[in-house]
Structure 1
């Protein structure tokens, strides 16, 4: 077959530039806008934190470090402490994750490894739609549906069984009112479930198929592939999804307010009433006068919620980085 001679002028022709004339200015403007957007986020976040700190400064000056640990909240005597809402915030968030993460992992595992193709779309869409339900709807549903079931069926059964055990029994004792810390954590778990499950599903789908096929070819089971291939490959994104759910749980307001019992005391039982930072702010912000010590205490609680969220996020990132280095 005859070869077509290529003219020397074509062979020696220089490559065309990949950028158009004047694109340097456009890149500069685009880079400036990106930096400005990133700086705007930091400025807004910093402004909120500074405003909350300045607003809560009178409370910090009045009560000192004892404000963080005190469990007394007495508007009549003008004595305020953040111990109860801090305890309720951390406890309900941790319980919510303990309930939600295994279920979310099971949903993501089923959708990516076991579900038929015709089922993956509808189930995945249903999970995403669950995230769009307003929090007040969850609160009303929890108060009118979950609380009666907890008071009439679940809590009495747990109190009569687990509540009789010697060590952990004190965590499941008390009158079965239906409301309380455990009910609030259950509602929070349902609320953060779609965020964690959707994130896990999406990152599990990003694992290259050749990795899983190689593991299956070596005789691995589905669980072994998930544990030894998928999870190590996606653990950073999985932790990110869990932290996203934790952030939602820490700051949730109305749903928790409906079902937590709204009592300013710490009880050893998970069925006892309590408060969170968000719920107590929502309940008492309207009753606090401008410039009052009570308003300052509520703003101080908001600042402490920022500190807790930042500390949890920083701790999770540190643990993840140390695990990667190890």
Structure 2
């Protein structure tokens, strides 16, 4: 378990499959309006080795054929409607009804994340075109299905496939998937406040690299846990924890955390080894080496010397190393 006192490399929270919701076309299924697909190689050839996908195509599942006319979002007063471009048929009621039922049914799958098709009037996460009656369009909408999904599961890691081409966003999304899984399993079990202290301790460096402010605030929340109800504590911790991880880590914050970890190793390393590790941190800071280089050296020293605090930190391996996500950040 990730919230245990010690971790030897990456371990999943349990043996149950990690399920990720996904727009069906991204898996290569020919459900697009033109009868095609938008197969995403990262999802299928990399992430797919570690997760189970739950595919959804809202437009097909409300009964629209393949191929079919294209749809668009149209602002009608305070409402946004889903309209057929050729026929003008209004699919809003059908989509909203379907979305409410399908999103509710996803609770049974216990999703740990969701990947949406960008720009889609049903699945787009953000910046989807919305047309005004005048014909003017603005990129300020979200797909109708996606909007219901994100309202129902506000802490769920959600990303769209276009943004996954950015190595930093890709690493962040996958990190959040595994963190959400650990978080959900911790709070769904018979958790204690003492257990929460252990969980939080294991994620301290992770929080520091994403949001030092959230790190401090969550620390205060855990320290005063007895002052609020269990339900309030659970809701606040989960919400604030996932919000913190959504903030992209930066090179500067990684560098600070790496130097912070070096402090725990100083008494174990000779002068040459300390200099070598400092040089690797500086190479990373200057963009001469990816994050995996100093992290690999830290993991070696932590294993060699059995430094308990660092050995318990999720930061050293927040997702399976086989994904090689830190090779590119």
TM-score scaled by length of structure 2:
0.24
The answer to which structure has the higher helix fraction is 1
TM-score scaled by length of structure 1:
0.24
Q: Which has the higher contact order (CA 8 A, sep 6+)?
A: 1
The answer to which structure has the higher strand fraction is 2
Kindly name which structure, 1 or 2, has the bigger radius of gyration based on alpha carbons: 1
